[in-house]
Amino acid sequence: MSSIDTIRLTLVTGSRGSDEAVRLRVNGHEMEMHRISGGTAAGETWEGQRFIASELRSCHLVAPSAAPWDLRNLVIECRFEDGTRTTTRAPAHTVAPAHDLDLLALTLRVARVER
């Protein structure tokens, strides 16, 4: 498996937004995102990326701590160390408090549907 260089997320919030910072949990380590624009309130679009430089064994969008967060659209873009790129456009999701969204499993599930 090729190591992932960077991951970029584009999140479009539905009717219930979040006032918490967007964070990833990669291989068990919680990380803040960088190069952030937009917001996560209801109806807003948020974009950000994170330099990873590691093989991806697990990758989760950290759930909000108090209230559900509706994601109307979710785009996951990955750039690998060998220069290849992947883009996953996921269907709408509600991220429940304390229930992180498994981005790696979501990417694999969407890839199977698109075949």
Angle of CA points 79, 81, 87, to nearest 5°: 15
Residue-level pLDDT at 34 = 96
Q: Which domains does the chain have, with CATH numbers?
A: 4-114 (2.60.60)
Residue-level pLDDT at 111 = 53
Q: Which helix (H) or strand (E) holds 106?
A: helix 103-114
Please choose, from the candidates 12, 70, 71, the residue with its C-alpha nearest in 3D space to the C-alpha of residue 38. 12
The per-residue pLDDT string of the chain (115 residues; one tens digit each, 9 = 90 and over) reads 568 999 999 999 999 999 999 999 999 999 999 999 999 999 999 999 999 999 988 999 999 999 999 999 999 999 999 989 989 999 899 999 999 999 988 887 665 444 4
Residue-level pLDDT at 113 = 47
**What number of CA atoms fall less than 13 Å from residue 32's CA on the CB side?**
5
Residue-level pLDDT at 104 = 87
Q: Which helix (H) or strand (E) holds 107?
A: helix 103-114
